C-alpha cells in the first residue's frame, strides 16, 4: 500500500512535494502523477469558467476599458493560455511518474490565477456596487470550487485560495469600517474551512489510492498464484487392476512418467516403484498388508534427473483389495526448494565451509552411532587486530584463506566448520586409537601461523586449538563442546598458539555447573530469579510493540549466572517446569503494567511437552488477570524433533487459549516448511546470525528475504533479532520485516527501567550485558565459548 512519511494526518498531501529518497522509494512519483491527472482533466472546464467570469466582469465594468482593466484581462488570458497549454500537452499521455518540480509548476500556475482574481477584488470591489456584487459572487464561488478542485495538489489549493483571500482582505480594508473588517475576518475563516476540506480530501484520496493499490497487489498475487497452480499442478489420479497395470491414464499421469522416461504400458505397481525408488519399503509394506497409506515421499531415479513424488493410495474396495486407487503429486520443485534453504542454512556463505548447524548434526549422529573421534575447537589469535587495522574486507579474505588451509587437514569423514567470527572447528572421525591427534592440531596451528598475503599486505594470525574426546563416555553434545572449549581457553590462557587436550584438570567449569544445580532450588525459595525485558519495535516507525522476557539470576556466591548455565542445569535436574512457571507468571504480571505491549516468554521443549502445560498457562493467565492475546510463547524448531504430531497438538491447544505463538531462531534449527503448513504461527523470529552477517554474506540477504516473503504469504509477522547497527536496520526494513529487536533498540532492561525507557528517559537505566541468546535445550545454539557478556 502506498504510504508517505506523514501518512495518517492532515499533512499527508504535502509529503508529495518532498523529493526525499524515502518518499521516492514509497512511490510518491506515481501518486503525484495520479493527483496531477485529476486536476488537469478539470482544466478546460475551469479555464472556460474563468474566461466567462472575466467577460461578465468586463461587461459590468462597461466601456471604455481603462488601462488597468486591459492589463488585468490580458493577464487572465495569459494564465488561461498557460493552463490550456498544459492540458493540451498532458492530453492523451500515459504519465506514470511526475517529479516534484512539475508539481511546483502547478502551484505557481494556481498562484498566478488566484493573484489575477485577488487583484480584481482589491481594485474594483471598492469602486461600485455593481462590480461589488458580481465580484463577490464570482470570488466566493472560485474560492470554494477552486479550492476543492485543486485539493489533489494541496500547495496549489493554498496558493489559489490564499492569493484570492489576500485580495479580498485588501479590498475590505480599502473600503474601511468595522463591518468590512469583520467581513474580511469571516472570509479568511471561510477560506481556512475550504483549505481544511481540501486537505482532508487529499488525504482521503491518498488513502483510497493506497487501498486500491493494495487490492490490486493482492489481486495480482492471487492471480499469479492461481496461474502458477494451473501451470504447475502436479497431482495425477491413478488406478490399477488386479495385476497392478495402470488402467486410468490421465494426461497428467502420462506426463509424470514421461518425465522419468517410462512409458505407461511397461509400468506395474508396486513392482515398478520398488525398482526405481530406494525409499519404497514403507509403500511396499502397506501394499502387501492391503492398508491405505498417505503422503509417502519417494525419490524416483537418481542423479540430476531424479524426481520426487508424494503418493497416497488405498484399495478400491474390500471386495477387490488387489485393485488400488490413488494420487501422485510431483513435489520435485518443493523438495529442491527445501534443499536449497537447508543448504543455505547449513553452509557458511563467506568461507564455503559447513556452519555450526552442520557440525552439530554430524557430531550428534556420531554420538548416537557410538563413533569415536575428536572435536577440535579452533580460534584464531589476533584476528580482531586485523579487522580493526586493515578493515573487514581484508578480514574476510583472511577467513577464506584460513578455511582453505583447514580443508587441507581433512581426512576421510572429517568435517571442518566455521562456527562464526574467527571460530572454527574440525570434527575428526578418522582418528585411530584413543591417542589425541595432537600432531594434526599442531600442523593446523603451524599452517595457520604462516603469513597470509592479501594484496600487498602480509598478515599473521595464528591459532589455538582445544581437543575433546568423542566416545561413549560423552553423555551429550553439549558436554563435548564444553570440553573442547575449556581446552581451547586453557590453550589461550597459557600463551596462545598451543593445542590443549581436555582433562580432569580443566573441570572447573563442570564443577561450576554442579554448584549451579545444587544452588537452583535454594534460589527459588530466596527469590533470586527475576526478569529483564528487551523491547521489540515496529521496523518502520520504531514504535515499541512488544518486549521479550529474559530470566536473570544473581547468586550471592556464584555471582551472575548466565541463562546458558542455569537453564540447562534446570533441565538436567528437573526444575525447568518451576522456572518456566515463574517466568510466565512474572511476564503476565508485567504485561498488566505495560499497556498495549505484547510480552513474549521463551518456552523450552520440556515445558511444552509437559502433560498439564496448557492448563498451567490458562491458570496463570486467569490468576493474574491478563488477556491471553497479550502473551506470546516463543518455541524453537527443536520442539518438532521427538514427536512433531504431539507438539503440534499442544501448540494448537495453546492457540485455542488465545495466546500468541512465535517460532524462535527460524532458519538455524531443523527448518521444515511442513511445520509452517501444519501450524499457523503468529510470528517468525529470524535468527540473529543471518541479520548480523548481512554485511559480509550475500546469502544471508537471500535467506531473510525468502523467510519474510514466505511469512507474509502465510499471514505471519516477522521479527529480525540481533539488529545492532543502522546497516542491519536499513536492510531488514528494505525487505519489509515487521519488527526488529536488538542492541540498536535497547539492551535488556529491568521492569522499572523499561517503563522509564518507554516514557522517553534513556539515562540511568538498569540494563545488563548477559548473553540471553543461549537456549541450551536447542542443540544448534551451543556456543564454543565460556558464558560471558554478550
- pLDDT for position 787: 27
Q: Which residue has the higher pLDDT, 746 or 7?
A: 746
pLDDT score of 483: 87
Comparing 208-212, 227-231, 664-668, the range with the smallest average pLDDT is 227-231
Average pLDDT over residues 246-267: 77
Q: What is the predicted pLDDT for the residue at 338?
A: 78
Q: Report DSSP state, residue 739.
A: E
- Asked if pLDDT for residue 617 goes beyond 90, the answer is yes
Band of residue 223 on the pLDDT scale cut at 50, 70, 90: low
495-509 pLDDT tens trace: 778 899 988 767 666
* 396, burial (CB in 10 Å: exposed 0-12, middle 13-18, buried 19+): middle
How far is Cα 12 from Cα 781, in angstroms, rounded to an integer?
Answer: 46
User: Given pLDDT bands bounded at 50, 70 and 90, which one contains residue 510?
Assistant: low
Sign of CA dihedral 592, 594, 595, 598: negative
pLDDT score of 134: 75
Burial class from Cβ neighbours inside 10 Å (0-12, 13-18, 19+) for residue 232 reads exposed
pLDDT value at residue 404: 94
* In contact, 366 and 429? CB cutoff 8 Å: yes
How far apart (Å, rounded) are the C-alpha atoms in residues 786 and 251? 61
* DSSP label at residue 354: B
Q: Is 450 left (phi over 0), alpha (psi -120 to 50) or beta?
A: beta
Confidence of residue 660 (pLDDT cuts 50, 70, 90): very high
Furthest-apart CA pair in the chain: how many Å? 120
What the block records as the C-alpha cell of 693 is 552477517
Cell 565460556 -> residue? 786
Measured CA to CA, the distance from residue 679 to residue 292 in angstroms comes to 25
Among candidate residues 101, 88, 105, 2, the one with its CA nearest the CA of residue 47: 88
d(CA 192, CA 156): 14
pLDDT by residue (tens digit) across 424-473?
999 998 656 666 888 889 999 999 999 899 888 888 888 999 999 888 78
pLDDT, tens only, 689-712? 888 888 777 778 888 888 899 889
Whether residue 231 is predicted with pLDDT greater than 60 in this model: the reply is no
pLDDT at site 68: 80
Say if residues 521 and 512 touch (Cβ distance below 8 Å).
no
| Integer Cα distance of 241 and 324 in angstroms | 7
**Separation between Cα atoms, residue 702 and residue 341, nearest integer Å:** 10
Angle, CA of 577, 670 and 725, to the nearest 5°: 85
pLDDT tier at 494, thresholds 50, 70, 90:
low
Tens of pLDDT along 76-131?
A: 888 888 878 877 877 767 767 777 777 777 778 878 888 888 888 888 777 765 67
Binned at pLDDT 50, 70 and 90, residue 773 comes out as very low
Confidence check: pLDDT of 200 > 70 = yes
pLDDT classification of 19: cutoffs 50, 70, 90: low
Residues 162-189 have a mean pLDDT of 83
Angle at 410 between CA 408 and CA 416, to 5 degrees: 105
pLDDT band at 11 (very low <50, low <70, confident <90, very high): low
DSSP 506: G
Give 274's pLDDT tier (boundaries 50, 70, 90).
Answer: confident
Cis peptide before 202 (omega within 30 of 0): no
Query: What cell was used for 606?
Result: 520440556
> Per-residue confidence at 566, pLDDT binned at 50, 70, 90?
confident
In the chain, % of residues over pLDDT 70: 87
Specify the pLDDT at position 719.
94
Collapse the DSSP code of 589 into the 3-class scheme (helix H, G, I; strand E, B; otherwise coil) and give the result: helix
Please write the tens of the pLDDT for every residue from 552-561: 998 888 888 8
Burial 192-205 (b: 16+ CB within 10 A, else e): eebbeebbebbbeb
Where does the pLDDT of residue 784 fall: very low under 50, low under 70, confident under 90, or very high at 90 and above?
A: very low
As a whole number of angstroms, the distance between CA 378 and CA 376 comes to 6
Predicted confidence band of residue 789 (pLDDT cuts 50, 70, 90)? very low
Is residue 167 scored above 70 in pLDDT?
yes
Angle between the N-to-C axes of helices 43-61 and 67-90, in degrees from 0 to 180, rounded to the nearest 10: 170
Give the per-residue pLDDT at 775: 32
DSSP calls for 717-765: EEEE----SHHHHHHHHHTT-SEEESTTT---B-HHHHHHHHTT--SS-
Backbone angles phi, psi at 720, to 5 degrees: -90, 115
Q: Which pLDDT band, with edges at 50, 70 and 90, does 790 fall under?
A: very low
* CA neighbor of 687 nearest in space, from 742, 632, 745: 742
Average per-residue pLDDT in the chain?
80
Predicted confidence at residue 27, as pLDDT, reads 66
If you average pLDDT over residues 598-610, what whole number do you get? 90
Query: Measured between alpha carbons, how far is 27 from 642 in angstroms, rounded to an integer?
Result: 48
Confidence band, pLDDT 50/70/90 cuts, at residue 600: very high
Percentage of the chain exceeding pLDDT 90: 20
Average pLDDT of 621-627?
93
* Residue 288 confidence (pLDDT): 84
Overall average pLDDT of the 507-519 stretch: 75
Write down the pTM of the prediction.
Answer: 0.41
pLDDT over threshold 90, residue 626: yes
Q: How confident is the model at residue 418 (pLDDT cuts 50, 70, 90)?
A: very high
Q: Summarize pLDDT for 301-329 with one digit per residue, the tens.
A: 777 778 888 888 888 877 777 888 888 88
For residue 734, give the H/E element and its range.
Answer: helix 726-734
For every residue of 610-633, DSSP letters joined together read STTHHHHHHHHHHHHT--GGGEEE
User: What is the distance of C-alpha 431 from the center of its chain?
Assistant: 43
| 782 within 8 A of 360, measured Cβ to Cβ | yes
The helix or strand, by DSSP H or E, that contains position 781, with its residue range, turns out to be: none
pLDDT above 60: residue 782: no
The string of DSSP letters for 71-138 reads HHHHHHHHHHHHHHHHHHHHTT-------HHHHHHHHHHHHHHHHHHHHHHHHHTTT-HHHHHHHHHH
Alpha carbons 419 and 380: distance in angstroms, whole number: 12
CA distance 619 to 655: 15
Amino acid at each position: 500500500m502506498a504510504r508517505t512519511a506523514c501518512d495518517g494526518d492532515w499533512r499527508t498531501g504535502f509529503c508529495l512535494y518532498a523529493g526525499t529518497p524515502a518518499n521516492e522509494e514509497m512511490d510518491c512519483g506515481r501518486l503525484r502523477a495520479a493527483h496531477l491527472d485529476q486536476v488537469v482533466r478539470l482544466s478546460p472546464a475551469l479555464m472556460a469558467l474563468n474566461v466567462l467570469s472575466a467577460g461578465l466582469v468586463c461587461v459590468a465594468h462597461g466601456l471604455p476599458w481603462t488601462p488597468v482593466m486591459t492589463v488585468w484581462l490580458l493577464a487572465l488570458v495569459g494564465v488561461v493560455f498557460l493552463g490550456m497549454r498544459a492540458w493540451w500537452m498532458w492530453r492523451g499521455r500515459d504519465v506514470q511518474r511526475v517529479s516534484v518540480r512539475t508539481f511546483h509548476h502547478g502551484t505557481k500556475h494556481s498562484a498566478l490565477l488566484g493573484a489575477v482574481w485577488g487583484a480584481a477584488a482589491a481594485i474594483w470591489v471598492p469602486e461600485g456596487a455593481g462590480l461589488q456584487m458580481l465580484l463577490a459572487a464570482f470570488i466566493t464561488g472560485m474560492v470554494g470550487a477552486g479550492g476543492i478542485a485543486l485539493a489533489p495538489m494541496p500547495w496549489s489549493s493554498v496558493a489559489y485560495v490564499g492569493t484570492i483571500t489576500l485580495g479580498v482582505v485588501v479590498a475590505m480594508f480599502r473600503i474601511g469600517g468595522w463591518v468590512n473588517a469583520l467581513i474580511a475576518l469571516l472570509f479568511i475563516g471561510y477560506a481556512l474551512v475550504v483549505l481544511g476540506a481540501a486537505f482532508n480530501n487529499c488525504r482521503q484520496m491518498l488513502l483510497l489510492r493506497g487501498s486500491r493499490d493494495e487490492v490490486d497487489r493482492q489481486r495480482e498475487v492471487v492471480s499469479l498464484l492461481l496461474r502458477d497452480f494451473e501451470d504447475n499442478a502436479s497431482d495425477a489420479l491413478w488406478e490399477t487392476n488386479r495385476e497392478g497395470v495402470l488402467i486410468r491414464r490421465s494426461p497428467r499421469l502420462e506426463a509424470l512418467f514421461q518425465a522419468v522416461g517410462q512409458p505407461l504400458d511397461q509400468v506395474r505397481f508396486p513392482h515398478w516403484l520398488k525398482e526405481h525408488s530406494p525409499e519404497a519399503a514403507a509403500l511396499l509394506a502397506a501394499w502387501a498388508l492391503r492398508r491405505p497409506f498417505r503422503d509417502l515421499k519417494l525419490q524416483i531415479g537418481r542423479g540430476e534427473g531424479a524426481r520426487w513424488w508424494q503418493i497416497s493410495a488405498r484399495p478400491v474396495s474390500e471386495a477387490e483389495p488387489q485393485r488400488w486407487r490413488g494420487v501422485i503429486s510431483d513435489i520435485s520443485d518443493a523438495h529442491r526448494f527445501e534443499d536449497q534453504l537447508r543448504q543455505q542454512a547449513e553452509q557458511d556463505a563467506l568461507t564455503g565451509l559447513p556452519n555450526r548447524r552442520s557440525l552439530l548434526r554430524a557430531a550428534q549422529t556420531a554420538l548416537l552411532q557410538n563413533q569415536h573421534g575428536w572435536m577440535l575447537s579452533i580460534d584464531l589469535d589476533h584476528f580482531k587486530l586485523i579487522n580493526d587495522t586493515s578493515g573487514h574486507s581484508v578480514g574476510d579474505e583472511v577467513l577464506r584463506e584460513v578455511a582453505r588451509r583447514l580443508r587441507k587437514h581433512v581426512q576421510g569423514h572429517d568435517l571442518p566448520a566455521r562456527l562464526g567470527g574467527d571460530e572454527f572447528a574440525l570434527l575428526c572421525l578418522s582418528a585411530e586409537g584413543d591417542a589425541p591427534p595432537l600432531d594434526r592440531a599442531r600442523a593446523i596451528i603451524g599452517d595457520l601461523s604462516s603469513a597470509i598475503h592479501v594484496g600487498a599486505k602480509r598478515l599473521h594470525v595464528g591459532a589455538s586449538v582445544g581437543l575433546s574426546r568423542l566416545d561413549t563416555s560423552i553423555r551429550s553434545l553439549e558436554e563435548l563442546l564444553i570440553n573442547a572449549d575449556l581446552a581451547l581457553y586453557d590453550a589461550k590462557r597459557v600463551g596462545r598458539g598451543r593445542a590443549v587436550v581436555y582433562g580432569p584438570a580443566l573441570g572447573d567449569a563442570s564443577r561450576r555447573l554442579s554448584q549451579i544445580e545444587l544452588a537452583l532450588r535454594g534460589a527459588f525459595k530466596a527469590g533470586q530469579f527475576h526478569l529483564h525485558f528487551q523491547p521489540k519495535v515496529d521496523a518502520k516507525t520504531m514504535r515499541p510493540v512488544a518486549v521479550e522476557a529474559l530470566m536473570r539470576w544473581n547468586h550471592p556466591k556464584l555471582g551472575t549466572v548466565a541463562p546458558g548455565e542455569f537453564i540447562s542445569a534446570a533441565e538436567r535436574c528437573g526444575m525447568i517446569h518451576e522456572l518456566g512457571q515463574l517466568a510466565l507468571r512474572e511476564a503476565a504480571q508485567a504485561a498488566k503494567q505495560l499497556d498495549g505491549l505484547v510480552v513474549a516468554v521463551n518456552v523450552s521443549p520440556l515445558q511444552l511437552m509437559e502433560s498439564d502445560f496448557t492448563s498451567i498457562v490458562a491458570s496463570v493467565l486467569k490468576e493474574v488477570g491478563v488477556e491471553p492475546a497479550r502473551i506470546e510463547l516463543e518455541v524453537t524448531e527443536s520442539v518438532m524433533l521427538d514427536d512433531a504430531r504431539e507438539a503440534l497438538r499442544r501448540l494448537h491447544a495453546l492457540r485455542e487459549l488465545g495466546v500468541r505463538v512465535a517460532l524462535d531462531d527460524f532458519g538455524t534449527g531443523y527448518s521444515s516448511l511442513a511445520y509452517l503448513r501444519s501450524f499457523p504461527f503468529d510470528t517468525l523470529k529470524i535468527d540473529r546470525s543471518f541479520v548480523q552477517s548481512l554485511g559480509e554474506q550475500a546469502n544471508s540477504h537471500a535467506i531473510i528475504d525468502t523467510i519474510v516473503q514466505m511469512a507474509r504469504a502465510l499471514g505471519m509477522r516477522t521479527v529480525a533479532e540481533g539488529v545492532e547497527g543502522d546497516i542491519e536496520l536499513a536492510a531488514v526494513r528494505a525487505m519489509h520485516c515487521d519488527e526488529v529487536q536488538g542492541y540498536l533498540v535497547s539492551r535488556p532492561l529491568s521492569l522499572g527501567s523499561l517503563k522509564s525507557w518507554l516514557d522517553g528517559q534513556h539515562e540511568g537505566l538498569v540494563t545488563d550485558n548477559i548473553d540471553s541468546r543461549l537456549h541450551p535445550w536447542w542443540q544448534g545454539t551451543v556456543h564454543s565459548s565460556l558464558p560471558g557478556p554478550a
